[in-house]
Amino acid sequence: MRARTRLLDVNTGNFTVFINPEDAKEGRLHPEDLVKIETGKRTVYGTVAIGDFVGRGEIGISQDILEVQPFSEGEAVVVVPAGTPESVRYIRKKMRGEKLRKVEIEAIVKDIVDRKLRDVEISAFVTALEINGLDMDEIAALTVAMAETGHMLDIDRKPIMDVHSIGGVPGNKTNVLVVPIVAAAGLTIPKTSSRAITSAAGTADVVEVLTNVTLSLDEIKRIVEKIGACLVWGGALNLAPADDITIKVERRLSIDPRGLMLASIMSKKYAIGSQYILIDIPTGRGVKVESMEEARSLARDFIELGKRLGQYVEVAITYGGQPIGHTVGPALEAKEALEALMTGKGPGSLIEKALGLAGILLEMGGVAPAGMGKKIAREILESGKAYQKMREIIAEQGGDPDIKPDDVPIGDKTYTFTAPTSGYVTGIDNRAVTAIAREAGAPEDKGAGITFHVKVGEKVKEGDPLFTIHAESETRLDRAIVLARRLDPIKIEGMVLQRIGNI
């Protein structure tokens, strides 16, 4: 079928090609069919949608296709059915619980990136991994395939350090301190981070309050080779692009296959050339990894995968039983992190975790003797060297290095919850905290989130403030208040937990 392109102002996220009903009937095309669009030496794949908002002889091209393969308005193209790729047979093989060979994994990943696989087939693959898992041979092959189908970053300044938290703890702005501490010690740490998927703020969301995080690979290379560090959003870099596609499926299905999580994290480290990697596994009630046994098992997998990829990996199992610091939400966390960098002081949970992780990286990188990393990290933070390095990062990425904590705009619609009774704070529900902060508007509304006035173990009196919700709109605030009342995220108990009489 020959047609002329019509560029549509719609982003389906699904590489959609819109075809007129009469043309579809004539070409024997059906909704969700895979088609190949060819023009000159260019080829792109798309999924068919049928509608009369495009005329006969036209095909509508969605914006997501145009982002990877530019077409001009009215360009002549040939549209043909693509058929079922061979990789679908390999997906069925994994659905049966069989082990995949390296070449089969490579074919699946390439077809995901090229959009030869539709969402239903990608969903089948992700679900098969959730049910049947991957062994370490398969995980290593998947990791390399995911990295090599995207862009690779080559930084001359060595050694290259990296740190990654698997997430799950609200308020985890730790790496905003760790990266400048490590870079101030003379090591190289190009930190690419994600935006929030299910949390109230990813590291990229927090840093974006202070400076630009959407940079090109060339810009990152220039910045890192000049000052030794960056804090950027990885989603704009086409690093391991198959990961960005599978994450959307995982989010819809609310699953996170272990082997895919390992490959997802390590593929991006492999793509930017990381040599020494520290993985932070928060552990505790209400986070992704709730038991020490599970955390140790996952740690062993990360270390083994690193060996297979030629990377040295260490793992820090960290306390994840309550939010880190006193704030949750992009602007609130940015303000808290900036205050800590400027003063060298801050909430114990934030400072101690940041210094602990930075100290391990300093020892891994050979700039601190064994057992002295945390002490040297503290000296770098308290001396102001980490703050000066953060100023350099902010400036090089296009922000104002003179920004002060009070310059950070916070949501001005607020409501404070108080203690209904006297007692001790015995628990803070991580999942409830995240849900409330998101209901208030985070991370899309940068100023939305939560400020905590108490932490676990503290004594409170009836009427004492517990936490304040911040929002940028009254509507969002009202919704967050309703949810907070229902979820009741902070548990207060007296010293006598239960009385039992004679039976």
Residues tagged active-site: 256
- Cα radius of gyration (the chain): 25
214 labelled binding-site residue = no
The 3-class secondary structure across 463-489, one letter per residue, is CCEEEEEEECCHHHHHHHHHHHHHHCC
The pair of three-digit structure tokens given for residue 107, joined into one six-digit string: 């074919």
196 labelled ligand-binding: yes
| CA–CA dist 199, 169 (Å, integer) | 8
Instruction: Give the DSSP H/E element, type plus range, for residue 81.
Output: strand 76-81
Q: Is 198 annotated as a binding residue?
A: yes
Residue 413 marked in a binding site:
no
CB 155, CB 224: distance < 8 Å: yes
Q: Which of 476, 479, 478, 489 is nearest to 441 (CA)?
A: 476
CA–CA dist 32, 496 (Å, integer):
62
Q: From CA 160, how far away is CA 420, in angstroms rounded?
A: 51
In the chain, the N- to C-terminal Cα span, in Å, equals 83
- In three-state form (DSSP H/G/I as H, E/B as E, the rest C), the secondary structure along 85-149 is CCHHHHHHHHHCCCCCCHHHHHHHHHHHHCCCCCHHHHHHHHHHHHHHCCCHHHHHHHHHHHHHC
Instruction: Write the CA distances from 200 to 2, 90, 325, 449, 503, integer angstroms.
Output: 47, 37, 14, 8, 48
Question: Is 194 annotated to bind ligand?
Answer: yes
Please give the backbone phi and psi of residue 375, each rounded to the nearest 5 degrees, phi first: -65, -45
The helix/strand/coil state of 374 is helix
Q: Is 288 annotated as a binding residue?
A: yes
327 is in an annotated binding site: no
Is 168 annotated in some ligand binding site?
Answer: yes
Q: Indicate the annotated binding residues.
A: 168, 194-199, 203, 264, 288
Q: Indicate the annotated binding residues for AMP.
A: 168, 194-199, 203, 264, 288
